[in-house]
Every structure is written in structure tokens, then in C-alpha cells.
Amino acid sequence: MEKQKKFLSILFPVLLFGSLWGIFEASLGTLLHLPFFEAGGLFTKSSIIIVPIAFLFMSLCYKKTGSLLSVFFAGLVSATIKLSTAFVMGMTIYVYFPAIYIVVESLAMMGALAIFRPTSVLSLKNFATFVTANTVYQFSYISIASIVAVASPSLTKNINAFENMKNWQKVGEKYLFTYNGVAIIYALSFGAALYGLYRLAMKLNINEKIEFKKILYSPITVSIAVMAAFALSISLAAVK
């Protein structure tokens, strides 16, 4: 009985935060790829905005479970939700590459959490965790894209960032410094806003009036989140 309780205490947060991650990937990802937002360039690039949110969900998952593996499994849930779009899009690079990068994000965050072991989501330690994880992820992205560019040049429009200095400046520095820097600024802004809301909730004693944790991690809430994530991802993929 005790083992079952422990298993469920990890399973529900993994499914919940993995599904919420998948929902944001589908909804916000689709929105930010619309011409209006793509015209905004760097500051409306979907990956820069979505990645900090993904790391937030992973931080919340780790805070709830205390398990590093739960972060990886949440990534697998989100990646599976992304792969479900293959039902309408087919198994193309626009399906499996994002799923691969989602898993890479979870591995980067898992490693960073193992180093810093933050006890609070809204803390300097967790911010350092995010900066480390995002830097590792951006370098991993550059590396994977470069390997694909060499192994299968016709598959994508990627170039090998490590081939020469010109390519490194064009791709490597852009992702590792520019994109990474903007994502860090967004994370700071987002974190400050969340901290403000948290302090307001504490002042109003909202947590005592409404049992958020019981509602959030209940089987019903988790089931709804999982179904909504798959339904939304497949539906949005079908109308693209």
C-alpha cells in the first residue's frame, strides 16, 4: 500500500506537468508560428518563449516529487503528446525532431537539478538551474542540428555550426548567446511576475481557502489534463 502511494505521488505530477507542457507546446507553439508573431523576429521566437515555461513545469514536477527521474518522465509524456500529431501530419521531421528536443530539454534540466538541488521554484538556486539547463540545451540543439546537417544534408536546412568560424557566428553564437540571453531575460520577467502573484496569494490566504494541491493532483484533474493535451495537439496539427 505504501509503495502504491509513493508510485502515485510521482505518477500524477509527472502526467500533470508533462501534459501541461504538451498543451503549451501545442497552443503557444501554434500561435507563435502565425505570420503576425513570426514578423516579430527574435523576441517572438516560439522556442525562446516556450523553453522557459517548459523548465518551469519541470521545476514544479521536481519540487512536488523530489525525484530527478520524474523530470525525465515528464519530458517523455510531453514528447509522446507531440508524437501523437503524427496521426494527422505523418511521421515527419516536424513531428519527431521537436519530440527529440523535448527529451533533450528534460535531460538538461535533470542534470542541472542534480547539481543545484533547489528547494524552491522561485529561488536564485532554481534560476541558476534554469540558466545551466538552458545553456546545455542550446548547445545540445546546435550539436544535434550540426550532426544532422552533416549526416543528411537534404533532410533539413541546418548547417554545421562547427565547420568554420562563419558558421559558428551564424548559428552557434546566435543560439548559445543571443537566444539563450533572451530566454534568460524572459525567465527573469516570468519569475518576477510569478513571485508577485505568489506573494499576493499568501497575503489573501487563498491557499487556505482553496485546497489547490488536492484539486491539482487529483486523478480527475490529471486525467482531464492528459486528454486535453492529446486532443489539443492533434486538433491544432490537423488545422495547420
User: Quick one: what percent of the chain has pLDDT higher than 70?
Assistant: 97
The pTM of the full predicted model, rounded to 2 decimals, is: 0.92
For residue 54, what pLDDT band results from cuts at 50, 70 and 90?
Answer: very high
Residue 14: C-alpha distances to residues 9, 34, 151, 226 (Å): 9, 30, 34, 11
Nearest in space to 98 (alpha carbons), one of 72, 80, 74:
80
Give the pLDDT score at 72.
97
Residue found under cell 528534460: 106
Residue found under cell 508524437: 83
User: Quick one: what percent of the chain has pLDDT higher than 90?
Assistant: 62
Is pLDDT of 87 > 60? Answer: yes
Is pLDDT of 233 > 60? Answer: yes
* Predicted confidence (pLDDT) per residue in 167-177, tens digit: 999 999 999 99
Burial class (CB in 10 A: 0-12, 13-18, 19+), 88: middle
Contact 82, 99 (CB under 8 A): yes
Q: Which of 15-19, 28-32, 122-126, 144-148 shows the lowest mean pLDDT across its residues?
A: 28-32
Where would I find the H helices in 33-123?
Answer: 35-38, 46-65, 68-83, 86-89, 93-116
- State the Cα torsion 221-134-117-226 to the nearest 10°: 10
Q: What DSSP designation does 162 have? A: T
**HSE toward the beta carbon, residue 84, CA cutoff 13 A:** 22
Is pLDDT of 209 > 60? Answer: no
Range of the domain at 220: 2-239
Is pLDDT of 28 > 70? Answer: yes
Neighbours of 4 (CB within 10 A): 9
Is pLDDT of 202 > 80? Answer: no
Cα(116)–Cα(110) distance, integer angstroms: 10
Average pLDDT over residues 95-113: 96
* Predicted confidence (pLDDT) per residue in 74-85, tens digit: 999 999 999 999
Neighbours of 183 (CB within 10 A): 24
**Domains contained in the chain, number:** 1
Q: Which long-range contacts (CB under 8 A, 24 or more apart) does 167-172 make?
A: 171/142, 171/145, 171/146, 172/142
